[in-house]
Amino acid sequence: MMLGSVQALASSHRVATPMAPSFAGLAAGPRALRVVHRRTSRKDMHSLRAEVQQNAGSGLWLPPQRPERLSVKAQAGNNSATVQIKVFGVGGGGSNAVNRMMSSQLQGVELMVMNTDAQALTSSPLPEKSKLQIGGKLTRGLGAGGNPGVGLQAAQESREEVLQALQGADMVFVTAGMGGGTGSGAAPVVAAAARELGILTVGIVTLPFTFEGRQRKNQATTALAALRDAVDTLIVIPNDRLLSTMDQSIPMTEAFRVADEVLRAGVRGISDIITVPGLVNVDFADVRSIMTNAGSSLMGQGRASGQDRAVQAALDATASPLLEVGINQATGVVWNITGPPDMSLMEVNEAAEIIYKLVDDDAHLIFGAVVDPSMQDDVSITLIATGVGPKDPAYAQSLHADQQAAPAPLPAAAATAAAQNGNGRVPVRQPMPTEQQQQGSGSRPNVVVERPAAAQPHVKEDVPTGRIEVPSFLKNLGKK
């Protein structure tokens, strides 16, 4: 049942101070709203309603519809003072996205760029302390030459510097464009190092456009498999799907800019609900619980203005071309709504109903709201659907549908030598070992997640197939 009015809602729960019809007062006030998500039994619901009456003067509100999904509690302050979030842009694509985050004044996060290309680092607007050149001895600052093997070795050479840069973080975003040299090779090393330190690690990456070539796409597929094993949550943005939302006459440079903007929006959609004060925030523990060991995830975005703007933004987000499968398959959903100060509680509720009706009843939901005066009349929604990925045949088929046939695999020894000699070929890894194999090996026993291998892409008949050997430089990923 939709909310009739904010005033009626407040009256029905005997809240002493009527709630404002918009978030304008909250933005100016000293109190923050905290979203609490929990499963409740019928007995628990009676206790919660009693708590509402006892705390009427404190502004506690329990919505009447689907109360087991969401409650909102007013409390002083926020948790941003104790949560350290860092964003690492790795390689050219990741660095471009982080540079854009700086220009958009992303709040409450520390930005860093790392690259093998010294010239690209020099052109970044970030302060010098936020730049890290990796693999200086190996590449002499000239880049990885599109070779993921060089990018991986560069990150391993500078591993101590990477670990130092990660110190103090509670949550790390690793953003990169898959398919290149530094991003593909170094991003898994950075992510593995962060996870070894006990940091919640989220990868947000793009897959290359088709026009970037078959080799780049094949390298992206290999790098994606390595990164998936190194992070808690991996959000994949296929640029080809993004291209379907653009005008056909869009310049190439603008297409890459849009891809960078999507990476920025993904980071902001998650970080804002933790760090932006005075609005609807969630405990970092809630975010950690839904995103730890979540595996592959997908992102949807929607933006609308005018009448029914929140509803339309929610519909656009849940039907986003970036969502390769429906959010009904997700085990968890993190979503964030951003709007101007006149965004009403009713609008937020209507958007929530759209999303809640589509997700599974057992899915874990986290919600946040942000007031941004620069939005003017617009409302935007970003949602992250976790727990969808290689285990879902629909996802695997969609991810690999446009993949071209991969080149014939190299033996492990030859593949390692190829990476070291800089020929740019990195073979596809074999499927992940089972849980028993992982436990037997003694490698990272605290992070054991069995994820069945993704469906294999279509291979032309004239291309030989066979067992793929894992190259040693990927076997050793994250062990040092």
Q: Does domain 79-299+388-406+432-480 have CATH number 3.40.50.1440?
A: yes
Residue 101 CB partners (closer than 8 Å, separation 6+): 87, 109, 111, 264, 267, 268
Query: What residue ranges do the domains of the chain occupy?
Result: 1-77, 79-299+388-406+432-480
293: left (phi over 0), alpha (psi -120 to 50) or beta: left
Question: Token digits for 254?
Answer: 């603008």
Nearest alpha carbon to residue 364 among 323, 337, 333, 388: 333
Give the C-alpha separation, 387 to 464, whole Å: 33
- Other Cβ atoms less than 10 A from the Cβ of 278: the count is 19
CB atoms closer than 10 angstroms to residue 61: 19
Q: Residue 104's pLDDT is what?
A: 77
Three-class DSSP category at 299: strand
pLDDT higher than 50, residue 434: no
Residues 462-470: contacts with CB under 8 Å, at least 24 apart: 463/405, 463/406, 463/407, 463/408, 464/408, 466/409, 467/430, 468/409, 468/427, 468/428, 468/429, 468/430, 469/409, 469/411, 469/412, 469/415, 469/427, 469/430, 470/412, 470/429, 470/430
Average pLDDT, the chain: 72
In angstroms, rounded to a whole number, what is the distance separating the alpha carbons of residues 298 and 269?
A: 13
210 by DSSP, 3-state: which?
Answer: helix
Q: What is the pLDDT of residues 281-313, one digit of tens each?
A: 678 888 898 999 998 888 888 999 999 999 999
Are 208 and 220 in contact by the 8 Å Cβ rule? The answer is yes
Q: Name the more confident of 7 and 302.
A: 302
Report pLDDT digits (tens) over 185-220: 999 999 999 999 999 999 999 999 898 999 999 999
Q: Give CA separation, 323 vs 63, 299, 359, 365, 453, in Å.
A: 29, 6, 13, 17, 20
Buried b (16+ CB within 10 A) or exposed e, 359-387: beeebbbbbbbbbbeebeebbbbbbbbbb
Q: Between the CA of residue 166 and those of 116, 161, 270, 303, 438, what are the distances in Å?
A: 18, 9, 19, 34, 26
For residue 181, give Cα distances in angstroms to 57, 71, 96, 480.
Answer: 58, 46, 15, 21
What average pLDDT does this structure show over 321-338? 85
Query: Is this model's pTM higher than 0.85 or not?
Result: no
Question: Would you say residue 68 has pLDDT above 70?
Answer: no
Question: What gap in Å lies between CA 392 and CA 384, rounded to an integer?
Answer: 16
Q: What is the mean pLDDT of residues 357-376?
A: 89
